[in-house]
């Protein structure tokens, strides 16, 4: 009897606990489509947001230069991941993104391939196979290391034209980023991959033709948009599409499958600010990414069946905030022009967010996403195919 009373008390405490998954569960309409699995609420959609080169100091600098606040603070679950690659303690973006996308440790420069350069199926490809809609938005070229590792399988990250070609092997529903020239003015062949994508039920447009916000996307088509011929501009020089493109992506992906979606959003240039040892560059890019985080969080809060994960591949610059700093005015130092081996934070919000707390390898992000989606088996499927 005493035990029963205790149990009852415990249950009331749990049900009053304002965890985001609990509150969104409570707010769900009866036919919301949330996947229940043994009483666990599964997310229908997962949005993975990667701030390239975004270590704790990049986040801190953005926060203090933004009146001591960030949208990231709305995320209740925080973890840390270990970034090391198979070829060395200091990872690059290619190996790190391959760890997220395919669950393996691999060598620096690898795009969706293991140490033996064999392709390993990515979470985006698995999502496609599970009838989910998929998308990617980046502020680099769309064939740059981070997005590339979710969709392509190539020995080296600089094989941009081969990576572009790999887009044709998937049914990705939505992508926005730079790098148009790798698709339609190729050096290795005369193919026009934009024409080939259009033949594959894609609407493709670009910055030169029309503004992203003005594009009409038929809901029965996949969609791609090029924001630049090569690298998109830094946000301080006029780029400004990340938030809008992410919102468009969500809207389109919701129409593309009743089963749910997987969307990867990258704030690519926080890393470039780190390589340049340029604090201003880091902060403007960090805040652009955080603005996008705010919009995505807002969607997830309303939607109730979306898990949002925000992390980075590694830290860049050995960035630190030193004596002489004030709120809104920071004195900073760098210890390197390359990446560092720091543990990297993971922020999670939504159904199954709890599984992202703790300290784990970057490859665990892959397993946790699969677990949250409820994908069967261990994953990491090798791809055996003849390349043309
Ligand atoms: Mg990147
Ligand atoms: Zn980098």
Which residues have a beta carbon within 5 Å of ligand 1, which is an ion?
52, 93, 146, 268
pLDDT for 30 beyond 70: no
pLDDT for 54 beyond 80: yes
Model pTM above 0.85: yes
Span from the CA of 143 to the centroid of ligand 1 (angstroms): 10
- Of the listed ligands, the closest to the CA of 146 is 1
Span from the CA of 83 to the centroid of ligand 1 (angstroms): 14
- Of the listed ligands, the closest to the CA of 231 is 1
Please give the mean pLDDT across all residues of the chain: 92
Span from the CA of 267 to the centroid of ligand 1 (angstroms): 8
- State whether residue 166 is helix, strand or coil: helix
Residue numbers annotated as active site? 93
Span from the CA of 317 to the centroid of ligand 2 (angstroms): 9
The string of pLDDT tens digits covering residues 66-80 is 999 999 999 999 999
Instruction: Name the CATH superfamily housing domain 39-156+249-376.
Output: Alkaline Phosphatase, subunit A (3.40.720.10)
Residue with tokens 């400004």: 240
Euclidean distance between the first and the last CA atom of the chain, given in angstroms as a whole number:
71
- Of the listed ligands, the closest to the CA of 139 is 1
The string of pLDDT tens digits covering residues 87-133 is 999 999 999 999 999 999 999 999 999 999 999 999 999 999 999 99
Span from the CA of 233 to the centroid of ligand 2 (angstroms): 16
Reported residue count of the chain is 388
């Amino acid at each position: 009897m005493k035990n029963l009373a205790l149990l009852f008390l415990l249950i009331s405490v749990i049900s009053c606990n304002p965890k985001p998954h609990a509150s969104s569960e409570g707010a769900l309409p009866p036919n919301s489509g949330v996947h229940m699995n043994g009483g666990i609420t599964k997310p229908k959609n997962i949005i993975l947001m990667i701030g390239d080169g975004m270590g704790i100091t990049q986040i801190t600098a953005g926060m203090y230069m933004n009146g001591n606040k960030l949208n990231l603070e709305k995320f209740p679950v925080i973890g840390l991941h270990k970034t090391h690659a198979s070829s060395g303690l200091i990872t690059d973006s290619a190996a790190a993104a391959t760890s997220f996308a395919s669950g393996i440790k691999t060598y620096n420069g690898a795009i969706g391939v293991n140490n033996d350069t064999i392709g390993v199926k990515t979470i985006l490809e698995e999502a496609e196979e599970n009838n989910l809609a998929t998308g990617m938005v980046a502020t680099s070229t769309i064939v740059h290391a981070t997005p590339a590792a979710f969709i392509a399988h190539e020995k080296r990250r600089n094989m941009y034209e081969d990576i572009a070609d790999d887009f044709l092997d998937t049914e990705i529903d939505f992508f926005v980023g730079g790098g148009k020239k790798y698709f339609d003015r190729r050096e290795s062949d005369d193919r026009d991959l934009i024409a080939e994508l259009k033949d594959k039920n894609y609407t493709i447009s670009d910055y030169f033709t029309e503004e992203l916000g003005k594009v009409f996307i038929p809901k029965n088509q996949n969609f791609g948009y090029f924001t630049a011929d090569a690298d998109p501009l830094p946000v301080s020089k006029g780029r400004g599409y990340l938030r809008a493109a992410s919102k468009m992506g969500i809207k389109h992906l919701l129409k593309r499958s009743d089963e749910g979606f997987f969307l990867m959003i990258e704030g690519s240039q926080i890393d470039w600010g780190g390589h340049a040892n340029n604090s201003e560059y880091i902060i403007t890019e960090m805040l652009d990414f955080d603005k996008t985080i705010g919009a995505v969080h807002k969607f997830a809060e309303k939607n109730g069946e979306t898990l949002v994960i925000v992390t980075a591949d590694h830290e860049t610059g050995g960035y630190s905030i030193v004596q002489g700093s004030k709120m809104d005015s920071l004195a900073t130092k760098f210890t390197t022009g390359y990446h560092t081996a720091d543990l990297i934070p993971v922020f999670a919000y939504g159904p199954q967010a709890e599984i992202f707390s703790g300290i784990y390898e970057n490859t665990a992000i892959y397993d946790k996403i699969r677990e949250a989606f409820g994908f069967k088996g261990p994953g990491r499927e090798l791809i055996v195919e003849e390349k043309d």
